[in-house]
């Protein structure tokens, strides 16, 4: 059966609140050389999505209208010249093109073949669609940036969130002693994920109660990295997932003998393959908080912006598994 020439997508004509998102019919893309065309089954929703929706894509030079989204799980529908990694029918997942626009809130996306990997065999498309951006962020922060080793003490802030709940599992798989912050009601989840020491950030100063850690993963930004610095031992590493601002403690970290870095996640075929291995070995599971159809993308953004999500929000683009 020939592919359709058009597709459904969620588009926006201007920056703004969730109501700028609208379902449209648009032209289906074609894969260029080295690219694959993926029929999207599920698209994860991330903080990067609603922040981009609110601020627009002006920094990338892309003019409206544009389509949000980076997390993808789906089936290869076509391949461009030179692609040998995948064939039509292969089930894949990935975080294509980040931080450039990928357009995952759509029925089809195109991207370089090596921005994808084969979908973990024990996950549905919805579960796989929740993984790539958050899991790659955790993997690249802990493995590539901080080089976590067995026996080290790792502190993960927002440990029940999208990145956090995957980061604590990856840290455990690396052999670390893991401390995770979350409200007390989520401590049972943290322990089920392998957290050795849950800490309730609402009941006291985490920096006072948690000391001498080797690595801090901080997705919170603002004044949080400066507070987190107090928990890190000399020679340790503080990894922030938000761009440094005036409050980022770079000079203080240097004086304290701590490496403090901002890390931006990148598409990573080999990293995805390692994540797949952990998933298929039963050492990494993804928590899906809410699944909504593509046409309810605005609702997904409103929910995400409340900051109360445990795990991930996913858009079901097609009802076929």
- Asked whether residue 268 is assigned to any structural domain, the reply reads no
Residue 294 tokens, joined: 């593509």
Among 76, 56, 72, which Cα is nearest to 64's? 56
Output the pLDDT for position 246. 79
Cα of first residue to Cα of last residue in the chain, in angstroms, is 19
By residue range, what is the domain housing residue 245?
A: 133-262
Please tell me whether residues 85 and 49 are part of one structural domain: yes
- Asked whether residue 23 is assigned to any structural domain, the reply reads yes
Domain at 212, CATH number: 3.40.50.720
- Asked whether residue 269 is assigned to any structural domain, the reply reads no
Please tell me whether residues 23 and 101 are part of one structural domain: yes
Those residues with Cβ within 8 angstroms of residue 253's Cβ, 6 or more apart along the chain or in another chain: 229, 232, 238, 259, 260
Phi, psi of 46 (to 5 degrees): -130, 160
**What is the chain's pLDDT, residue by residue, as a tens digit (321 residues)?**
789 999 999 999 998 999 999 999 999 999 999 999 999 999 999 999 999 999 876 555 667 899 999 999 999 999 999 999 999 999 999 999 999 999 999 999 999 999 999 999 999 999 999 999 999 999 999 999 999 999 999 999 999 999 999 999 999 999 999 999 999 999 999 999 999 999 999 998 898 899 999 999 999 888 888 999 999 999 999 999 988 887 899 999 999 999 999 999 999 999 999 999 999 999 999 999 999 999 999 999 999 999 888 999 999 998 544
The pTM of this model reads: 0.95
Q: How many domains does the chain have?
A: 2
- Asked whether residue 255 is assigned to any structural domain, the reply reads yes
Output the pLDDT for position 60. 59
Please tell me whether residues 125 and 139 are part of one structural domain: no
Using DSSP, state whether 172 is helix, strand or coil: helix
Report how far residue 73's alpha carbon sits from residue 26's, in angstroms, rounded to the nearest whole number: 20
Please tell me whether residues 18 and 82 are part of one structural domain: yes
- Asked whether residue 1 is assigned to any structural domain, the reply reads no
Please tell me whether residues 147 and 236 are part of one structural domain: yes
- Asked whether residue 281 is assigned to any structural domain, the reply reads no
Those residues with Cβ within 8 angstroms of residue 30's Cβ, 6 or more apart along the chain or in another chain: 37, 78, 110
Please tell me whether residues 78 and 191 are part of one structural domain: no
- Asked whether residue 278 is assigned to any structural domain, the reply reads no
Kindly report the length of the chain.
Answer: 321
Please tell me whether residues 112 and 50 are part of one structural domain: yes
Q: Hey, which residues does 197 pair with through a beta bridge? A: 179
Domain at 84, CATH number: 3.90.180.10
Output the pLDDT for position 11. 96
Residue 238 tokens, joined: 């503080």
Output the pLDDT for position 284. 98
The DSSP bridge pattern shows strands 232-240 and 259-262 to be parallel
Please tell me whether residues 175 and 97 are part of one structural domain: no
Please tell me whether residues 258 and 294 are part of one structural domain: no
Output the pLDDT for position 56. 77
Please tell me whether residues 236 and 149 are part of one structural domain: yes
Hey, which bits of the chain come out as E strands?
Answer: 6-11, 22-27, 35-45, 72-79, 91-94, 108-112, 116-118, 153-156, 177-181, 197-199, 213-218, 232-240, 259-262, 288-293, 312-316
Output the pLDDT for position 98. 95
Exposure of 147 in the CB half-sphere (CA atoms within 13 A): 3
Question: Is there a contact between 237 and 217 (Cβ–Cβ < 8 Å)?
Answer: no
Please tell me whether residues 110 and 180 are part of one structural domain: no
Please tell me whether residues 17 and 106 are part of one structural domain: yes
- Asked whether residue 321 is assigned to any structural domain, the reply reads no
């Amino acid at each position: 059966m020939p592919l359709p020439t058009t597709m459904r997508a969620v588009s926006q004509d201007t920056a703004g609140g969730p109501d700028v998102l609208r379902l449209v019919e648009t032209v289906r893309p074609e894969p260029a050389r080295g690219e694959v065309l993926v029929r999207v089954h599920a698209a994860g929703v991330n903080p990067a999505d609603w922040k981009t929706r609110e601020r627009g894509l002006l920094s990338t030079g892309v003019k409206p209208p544009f389509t949000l989204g980076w997390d993808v799980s789906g089936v290869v529908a076509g391949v461009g010249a030179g692609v040998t990694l995948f064939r039509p029918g292969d089930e894949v997942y990935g975080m294509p093109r980040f931080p450039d626009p990928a357009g995952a809130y759509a029925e089809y996306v195109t991207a370089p073949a090596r921005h994808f990997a084969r979908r973990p065999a024990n996950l549905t498309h919805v579960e796989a669609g929740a993984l790539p951006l958050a899991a790659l962020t955790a993997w690249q922060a802990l493995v590539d940036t901080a080089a976590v080793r067995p026996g080290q003490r790792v502190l993960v802030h927002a440990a029940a969130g999208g990145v956090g709940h995957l980061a604590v599992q990856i840290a455990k798989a690396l052999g670390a002693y893991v401390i995770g912050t979350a409200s007390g009601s989520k401590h049972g989840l943290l322990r089920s994920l392998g957290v050795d020491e849950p800490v309730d950030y609402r009941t006291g100063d985490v920096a006072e109660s948690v000391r001498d850690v080797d690595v801090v993963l901080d997705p919170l930004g603002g004044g949080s990295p400066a507070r987190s610095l107090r928990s890190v031992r000399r020679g340790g590493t503080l990894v922030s997932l938000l761009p440094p601002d005036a409050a980022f403690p770079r000079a203080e970290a240097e004086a304290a003998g701590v490496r403090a870095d901002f890390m931006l996640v990148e598409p990573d075929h080999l990293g995805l393959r390692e994540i797949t291995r952990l998933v298929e070995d039963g050492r990494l599971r993804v928590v899906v908080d809410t699944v909504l159809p593509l046409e309810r993308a605005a609702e997904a953004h409103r929910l995400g912006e409340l900051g109360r999500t445990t795990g991930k929000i996913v858009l079901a683009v097609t009802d076929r598994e």
